[in-house]
């Protein structure tokens, strides 16, 4: 069974700092990995999708890397802003054992960017 | 707005009542997923549809839960005889996918259920 772990559970940084969020998964046989952002009481916003054949994806100040063989991904946020404060969730698409792939989520990292 | 839409956004009900949530996916997406999220946890998979066919159900989906996607468009998730443990955020997502892959999922704002 796929398990996804995100470290740290919470992170507080001053505005302007660069930061890294970590995600690890137990089964390296994944199809893709997706990073999401979730604001309190809201749904999930897709940030980046990395296919298993890719090493990284970039969108603006965000860069996500994938090392499938070691079961790790990182989300790098450059020049953090107070508006980046949210919970960041990592999810991997892997075989569910019931004939299809399924997205398994970590518990998230709660980020606070202090002005 | 062409994103995933969920209704109602909030539902407060008494234990034992039935509730129904609706999800309207992105129009061209063939896959529709239901997830449940409790406070401090990541979303947990409940079920998914490929067009109108329900292809997989989680063990979390007890007999009190039923989901439909008639005509492969919107979907409903009904919970019968609600229990306090059903209190959670119910999230719907859609994707355009081929084969067994999930594709890139796009989520709605969720429907928060509180069972008193």
Confidence of residue A100 (pLDDT cuts 50, 70, 90): confident
Q: CB–CB of B42 and A4 under 8 A?
A: yes
Confidence of residue A96 (pLDDT cuts 50, 70, 90): confident
Q: Count CB neighbours of A63 within 10 A.
A: 16
Mean pLDDT of B54-59: 87
| pLDDT tens digits, A21-57 | 999 999 998 989 999 999 998 999 999 999 999 999 9
CA distances from residue B105 to A43, A80, B48, B108 in whole angstroms, order as listed: 12, 25, 12, 10
**Which pLDDT score is estimated for B71?**
86
Residue A108 predicted with pLDDT over 60: yes
Q: CB–CB of B56 and A99 under 8 A?
A: yes
Confidence of residue B100 (pLDDT cuts 50, 70, 90): low
Confidence of residue A67 (pLDDT cuts 50, 70, 90): very high
Residue B50 — left, alpha, or beta (φ > 0 → left; ψ -120 to 50 → alpha)?
beta
Nearest CA in chain B to A110: B40
Residue B56 predicted with pLDDT over 90: no
Strand partners, A105: A91
Residues of A in contact with B104 (CB under 8 A): 32, 34, 46, 49
Q: Compare CB distances from B41 to A46, A96, A107 and report the shortest one's residue.
A: A107
Cα distance from B42 to chain A (closest Cα, Å)?
4
Strand partners, A22: A7, A74
A vs B: CB pairs below 8 A = 67
More confident residue, A97 or A68: A68
| In contact, B115 and B84? CB cutoff 8 Å | yes
More confident residue, A9 or B98: A9
| In contact, B34 and B20? CB cutoff 8 Å | no
Residue B1 predicted with pLDDT over 60: no
**Which pLDDT score is estimated for B59?**
85
Confidence of residue B72 (pLDDT cuts 50, 70, 90): confident
| DSSP-derived secondary structure for B37-62 | E-TTS--EEEEEEETTEEEEE-TT--
Determine the distance from the C-alpha atom of residue B95 to the mean position of all C-alpha atoms in its chain, rounded to a whole number. Answer: 13
A4: tokens are 């996804």
Question: What gap in Å lies between CA A18 and CA A13, rounded to an integer?
Answer: 9
Q: Count CB neighbours of A69 within 10 A.
A: 7
More confident residue, B100 or A54: A54
Say which DSSP state A68 is in: T
Nearest of B25, B30, B45, B9 to residue B107 by alpha carbon = B25
Among residues of chain B, what percentage have pLDDT more than 90?
A: 76
Confidence of residue B2 (pLDDT cuts 50, 70, 90): confident
Tracing tokens 């008494």 back to the chain, one arrives at B14
Mutate to test the interface with B, among A29, A39, A97, A103 (most CBs of B within 10 A): A103
Q: Compare CB distances from B101 to A89, A101, A107 and report the shortest one's residue.
A: A101
User: How would you classify the pairing of strands A30-38 and B65-68?
Assistant: unpaired
Mutate to test the interface with A, among B100, B108, B111 (most CBs of A within 10 A): B100
Angle, alpha carbons A28-A43-B105 (nearest 5°): 40
Residue A79 predicted with pLDDT over 60: yes
More confident residue, A17 or A102: A17
**Which pLDDT score is estimated for A94?**
87
**Which pLDDT score is estimated for A101?**
79
- B3 CB burial (10 A radius; 0-12, 13-18, 19+): middle
């Amino acid at each position: 069974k796929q398990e996804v772990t995100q470290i740290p559970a919470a992170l507080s940084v001053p505005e302007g700092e660069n930061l890294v969020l970590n995600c690890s998964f137990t089964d390296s046989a994944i199809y893709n990995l997706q990073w999401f952002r979730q604001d309190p009481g809201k749904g999930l916003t897709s940030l980046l999708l990395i296919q298993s054949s890719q090493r990284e994806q970039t969108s603006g100040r965000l860069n996500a890397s994938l090392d499938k063989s070691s079961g790790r991904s990182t989300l790098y946020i450059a020049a953090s802003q107070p508006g980046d404060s949210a919970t960041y969730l990592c999810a991997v698409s892997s075989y569910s054992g019931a004939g299809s792939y399924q997205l398994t989520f970590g518990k998230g990292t709660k980020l606070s960017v202090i002005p | 707005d062409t994103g995933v839409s969920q209704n109602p956004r909030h539902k407060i009900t008494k234990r034992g009542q039935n509730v129904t949530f609706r999800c309207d996916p992105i129009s061209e997406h063939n896959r529709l997923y239901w997830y449940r999220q409790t406070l401090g946890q990541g979303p947990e998979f409940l079920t998914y549809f490929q067009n109108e066919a329900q292809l997989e159900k989680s063990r979390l989906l007890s007999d009190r839960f039923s989901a439909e996607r008639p005509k492969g468009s919107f979907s409903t998730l009904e919970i019968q005889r609600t229990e306090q443990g059903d209190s959670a955020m119910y999230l719907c997502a859609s994707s355009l996918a081929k084969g067994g892959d999930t594709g890139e999922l796009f989520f709605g704002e969720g429907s928060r259920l509180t069972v008193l």
